[in-house]
Structure 1
Amino acid sequence: MARMTHSRYASSRRAFLAQAGALGIATGIGTGIGTGICGGIGARPAWAASDGVLSRAIPKTGERLPVIGMGTWITFNVGNDTALRAGRAKVLETFFERGGGMVDSSPMYGSSEAVIGHCLGRLADKGSLFSATKVWTPFKWLGVRQMEESERLWGTRRFDLMQVHNLLDWDAHLETLQAWKAEGRIRYTGVTTSHGSRHEEMAEIMTGQPIDFVQFTYNILDREAEDRLLPLAAERGLGVIVNRPFQGGALFDRFAQHPLPGWAAEIDCANWAQLFLKFAVSHPAVTCAIPATSRVDHMRENMGACYGRLPDAAMRARMIRHVESL
């Protein structure tokens, strides 16, 4: 995937901020927490801490969502293995204990939805759950059955968010999703892509369809979304879910052998995972990121990014310069 140069990033960011000013998007709330979207002077800022947990307002409703969620691609696809399921239940328990909200999955992810349902059934406290899954089939009629099966697997009667996975037959499925939303069967609708693909088609959907969320790849190296999708999401009032914030683990392969820069402490980062995540969620148009992990210790690290200070524009530029110099 092509990498954006720093000068290109700066130019793109200037264009976004110019647009943001016209849209009433704030770039700071005077607390050192970071940047955010707000509804104008005197409005409650999108960035806020509840019990210290950083959250973002969902643009369409103002409902707050912790900035760090959890993905389940590969990591929760463990079948019926009793020991592995118990381990994933502990990961999910740690996620909720540390203030997590969104759990994202898909029928494409093998046994992940069944494992999520099993784990949720074992947990006493899952009140902060924001359930998100997807429809993934080229047939509209089968999409209905698939969503009903997801309800059964998760053990829920209503998902918070239903998304069209990788834009597959999106026009047909969005009709179903809008009908389900009108009936109260789901709360929010959305579409997804990943790996920097189909951004033009995504932009057309964002402009022309009554959706609530979009999901796409964004991380400290893969910044193509800054060109069009992130500014457009802010303009259209859409929630943004960031997938692949660690580039599928490749960021650790590339940078983990290097020491964490000392200035990372200025944004309360104790490890590379927190630095990568805080870069992603500090963009003013991002609602939350959904890193995936199968390990409790890694979940603790990830959730650390849901606390403390976030980078401002100058720090974000510094972060980019640093990783591109390694």
Structure 2
Amino acid sequence: MKTMYNRREALKISLLAGIGLSFQSFTNPLNTNEKVISRIIPSTGEALPVVGLGTWQTFDVGNALEQREILSQVLLEMYRLGGTVIDSSPMYGSSEKVVGDLTSKLDFKNKLFYATKVWTSGKQAGIRQMEASMQKMRQAKMDLIQIHNLTDWKTHVKTLKDWKQQQKIRYWGITHYVDSSHRTLEEIIKSERPDFVQFNYSIQSRHAEESLFETARKYNTATIINQPYESGSLFRLVRGKEIPQWAKEQDINSWGQYFLKFILSNENVSCVIPGTSKPHHMIDNMGAGLGKMPNSSLRSKMLSHLKTL
């Protein structure tokens, strides 16, 4: 499979979406019946597609109709290529409500994997916030609720364990986005056995390889990766540079796929959740879960090449 679409080719799709064309008239540059690969959630054995969707900033559009239509196209492309995971948080402004409103209109709404977070202190405040999040996302039973950046985690762990037992949620987890929190994440994994841990990892930020991945593997905790592009700094690094031919020969057809395939080539990664508000970016992201995956030799070559840029 060769993806002929990259992140610079935005103009045509942006114009089409801007004038409100329907899904049927929206041209998909990646026409394939192939679906992204899945990996197993260790605590249950359920399969989870390896590429999902983060909603920080990108889905915080309020009631803007034009932007909502484009985001609906993002969701359509994700699912068309096999993705299901949508990750949000009450920290992300209107994102939870936008997700709920848009997915409620989709035929495949019940096949998606909905994840959000609790981001407040105190037991009752946490319960109120989580109930509000579920209402906004229109979920009677949430697939995954995570403790956002470990905020008052000792309190919320008890609630989430109770909710899982009561079948209000299917899974619970913990999150952070900086290297300095990895040790704490590990200690919580060892003591509390969450179903999921979400943390930062990228081709240039590999601190998690030291021990966090191994701890998650040992204690049967699925991993969700945030900050895969380091807030866009990786794209600034390669601006104006061409993808090397040897990478294209390995089904790496854009810099986005270069960065994501490096992450996914680590078999301890369960899912990566790059955020986007653009359909063509969503297609490109999903392409990272298709085709060949880098082996250890290619990973080393990818790292070395990036250092020359």
Please state which band the TM-score falls in when normalised by the shorter chain.
Answer: 0.7 to 0.9
Aligned partner of 1:159 in structure 2 is 142
Aligned mates of 2:101, 2:109 — CA distance in 1: 13
With the length of structure 2 as denominator, give the TM-score of the two structures.
Answer: 0.87
For the 8 Å contact 1:96–1:126, the answer to whether it is kept is no
1:170 partnered with 2:153: yes
Distance 1:51 1:180 in 2: 36
SS at match of 2:249: helix
Alignment-derived partner of residue 198 in structure 2: 215
* Match in the other structure for 2:305: 322
2:296 to 307, 313, 319: 313
How far has the Cα of 1:56 moved from its partner?
Answer: 0.6
CA positional deviation for 1:210: 2.4
TM-superposed deviation, 1:325: 1.8
Which residue does the alignment assign to 1:105?
Answer: 88
The Cα of 1:265 is off from its aligned counterpart by 2.3
Q: Does 1:270 align with 2:261?
A: no
CA contact (8 A) 1:214 1:240 kept: yes
1:72 aligns with 2:55: yes
Give how far 1:90 is off: 1.3
Which residue does the alignment assign to 1:258?
241
SS in structure 1 at match of 2:143: strand
AA of the residue aligned to 1:113: E
Equivalent residue, structure 1, for 2:127: 144
Aligned length: 277
Cα distance between partner residues in 2 of 1:324 and 1:57: 33
Q: SS at the partner of 2:242?
A: coil
Per the alignment, residue 165 of structure 2 pairs with 182
Counterpart residue number, 2:24: none
Contact 1:96 1:128 in 2 (8 A): no
Q: Is the 8 A contact 2:35 2:81 kept in 1?
A: no
Q: How far has the Cα of 1:103 moved from its partner?
A: 0.4
1:237 is the counterpart of 2:224? no
Q: Which amino acid aligns with 1:108?
A: M
Structure 1 stretches of 5 or more lacking a match? 1-49
On the 8 A contact 1:100/1:128 being kept in 2, the answer is no
Indicate the RMSD between aligned Cα atoms, in angstroms.
1.2
String of CA shifts for 1:239-298, please: whole Å, max 9, x gaps.
000001111111111113211011112331111111111111111211010000010111
Listed one character per residue, the Cα deviations across residues 95-139 of structure 1 (whole Å, up to 9, x for unaligned) are: 111111110000000000011011102222234311110000012
Secondary structure of the corresponding residue to residue 197 of structure 1: helix
**Map of 1:9 onto structure 2:** none
The amino acid across from 2:160 in the alignment is L
Corresponding residue for residue 56 of structure 1 = 39
Matched with 1:115 is 98
Contact 2:61 2:94 in 1 (8 A): yes
> Would the aligned equivalents of 2:225 and 2:271 in 1 still touch at CA under 8 Å?
yes
Match of 2:113 in 1: 130
Residue aligned with 1:53, SS: coil
When normalised by structure 1's length, the TM-score is 0.83
- Contact 2:144 / 2:172 at 8 angstroms: preserved in 1? yes
For the residues of structure 2 that align with 1:293 and 1:58, how far apart are their CA atoms?
A: 24
Q: Does structure 2 retain, via aligned residues, the 8 Å contact 1:266–1:309?
A: no
CA distance in 2, matches of 1:224, 1:302: 23
